[in-house]
Amino acid sequence: MTEQKTIWLTQEAFDKLKAELDHLKGPGRQEVIEKIADARDEGDLKENGGYHAAREEQGKIEGRIRQLEDMLRRAEVGETPPDDGVVEPGMVVTYKFVGDDDDEAESFLLGAREIAPEDLKVYSPESPLGAAIHGKSKGDTVSYEAPNGKTLQVVILDAKPFNG
């Protein structure tokens, strides 16, 4: 069995996920139950598209509830890290591969996908790149083994606290 890893969240992100969980367990769940009941009253369930859609929605809500409960159970709530250039969860890291031009630099959030906007990549602190750069500083060159087995080298160009 895989060991469950801690998820780093800001207090704001934790509160946002908790509010989503509370909504899904309360009004969200109730709305779907009502949709299922209404569709059931329409008759034959085999050919009732509304019933099947409501049941599918119920499955998605229950799955999201389980996901949120698991995340919040494993969450480590912390303050935004200091702006000291040291890579740690909650930082937006800008890096480039050794030999690439600076205009090929990429940025990502080291942390949890749930706290980042959709346009920002997210890497877990346990990912190969995340684990290799954790604790390193702006300007450091770091080697790590990619999932395909190749050894890659990156230069950390910047590490700033995520303020989302």
Q: Splitting the chain (164 residues) into consecutive groups of 10 residues, what average pLDDT does each group show?
A: 64 87 95 89 78 91 93 81 84 91 87 77 89 94 93 94 76
Domain with CATH 3.10.50.30 in the chain: 91-161
Residue ranges of the chain assigned to CATH 1.10.287.180? 7-78
**Going by CATH, does the domain composed of 91-161 fall within 3.10.50.30?**
yes
pLDDT for the residue 112: 75
Residue 153 has what pLDDT? 95
pLDDT for res 1: 39
Q: What dihedral angle (degrees, nearest 10) is formed by the CA atoms of 159, 160, 163, 164?
A: -30
CATH fold of the domain at 7-78: Helix Hairpins (1.10.287)
